[in-house]
Amino acid sequence: MKTPRDVTTAHLQQRFQEKGLKLTPQRLAIYQMLMNTEAHPTADDIYHAVKPTFPMLSLNTVYYTLTAFKEAGLVWEVPVEHASSRYDANMDQHHHLVCLDCGKIEDLYDESLVCLRPPTANQRGFDIRMHRVEFRGYCEACRAKQGASQDTALSNRSMSQS
């Protein structure tokens, strides 16, 4: 499970320099927001979380910053069908459970997936360095809603047949 990381500003500055990025106060705030959440926020979520501290911040700056972070290998972009991409600063090897209804994303740590390496990759001369797996389905809350609406539909159908 991802936990908030107590990373010093000096450590982040070093990490950003290694990636060729200048550590501005806005970038620091955006990165810390991502490091301290398990919610996999959208750019819009990040913008609204950081804007009170930086009133002049624009949504365009957030997108630009996320692109720079992604290109530097500091965050993962998690695409969500029919919705805005989500972002994850947890670069540990893990996978995702993605709800097809509400778009909720949960981190999944499963030892059986860590060693997932297709044997044919080596035969094709492909050297795998990392992998990501996304399981798509319905979260518990959405399944409960679906069950309730199915129960209502069945109840209405049986009442109309009486």
102 is in an annotated binding site: yes
What pTM does this model have? 0.73
**Tokens in use for 21?**
């990025």
In order along its 162 residues, the chain shows pLDDT tens digits of 333 455 677 877 888 888 888 889 999 999 999 999 999 999 999 999 999 999 999 999 999 999 999 988 889 998 887 788 999 998 888 889 999 888 889 999 888 777 776 776 777 888 877 777 888 999 999 999 988 666 555 445 544 555
115 is in an annotated binding site: no
- Bridge partners of residue 134, in order along the sequence: 96
Q: How far apart are CA 42 and CA 58, in angstroms?
A: 14
Domains in the chain, CATH or no CATH each: 1-90 (1.10.10.10)
142 is in an annotated binding site: yes
